A and B are shown apart, each in its own frame.
Chain A
Amino acid sequence: GQQLNQSPQSMFIQEGEDVSMNCTSSSIFNTWLWYKQDPGEGPVLLIALYKAGELTSNGRLTAQFGITRKDSFLNISASIPSDVGIYFCARSGGSYIPTFGRGTSLIVHP
């Protein structure tokens, strides 16, 4: 099946720092989705990307659809304690099987 390589696996940062994580694939995607999951809850959609090169922001979050259509990154600026959680990249749609990356676990120290 299609593989999504997400990195880093975990991050331990101080409050106020910026965060960057990314996903890559060996095949071309038409859609990149970024989710956040809090413990014991379902994933919540943060940002959706549909065009190569597209750069989209949602508050302190910014995500980009790579120009090669094989990668995407998510940046979080000025992190706060409530940013703690697991962040997943994902793709879905059409004949594609919805697939998630392995996740990036974020810990923010006050």
Chain B
Amino acid sequence: DTEVTQTPKHLVMGMTNKKSLKCEQHMGHRAMYWYKQKAKKPPELMFVYSYEKLSINESVPSRFSPECPNSSLLNLHLHALQPEDSALYLCASSQRNMGRSPYNEQFFGPGTRLTVL
């Protein structure tokens, strides 16, 4: 199994809703990432988990709350989002996140297209 899966594929939510995005990989990777991507822009890093511990938080608002229940799963909990949070949310994984190494090659999921009304 060499893929990263994300659910749901599409999500529409109101500003008062609470929802969660899910990501799963079974490649034994120990680093997992959340990115946000706006149309025609590059992915922007939000969070990095390394060995199930949050190692990087790129000053993301607290209405986005990541969770890594185990080495295969990564969640992104959403609460009280704003319309400007509408974007493609990408999950990625890599074997590790250290030094100069093929272990840092990131594999991306297909993304969740989020629309906030």
Contacts and interface: CB of A to CB of B under 8 A. Distances in A.
Given A33-B105, A98-B48, A42 B111 contact: yes
B45 A93 contact: no
Interface stretch (B65-73, B75-83, B96-104): B96-104
Contact of A94 (B88, B100, B106, B111): B100
B45 A99 contact: yes
A43 B104 contact: no
Main secondary structure of the interface of A (DSSP, over half): strand
B111 A30 contact: no
B108 A31 contact: no
A102 B42 contact: yes
Nearest to B101: A93
A48 B107 CA distance: 12
Contact of A42 (B56, B92, B99, B105): B92
Interface string B18-45: 0000000000000001000000111101
A100 B107 CA distance: 14
The contact size tier of chain B is: 20 to 34
A101 B109 contact: no
Contacts of B40: 86, 103, 105
Contacts of A48: 102, 105
B43 A93 contact: no
B104 A31 contact: yes
B58 interface: yes
Interface in B46-62: 48, 56, 58
Contacts of B97: 92-94
B102 A50 contact: yes
30 contacts: A30-B99, A33-B105, A35-B108, A40-B88, A40-B110, A42-B4, A42-B90, A42-B92, A42-B110, A43-B108, A45-B107, A50-B102, A88-B43, A92-B94, A92-B97, A92-B106, A93-B97, A93-B100, A93-B101, A93-B104, A94-B97, A94-B99, A94-B100, A94-B104, A97-B56, A97-B58, A98-B45, A98-B48, A98-B106, A103-B40
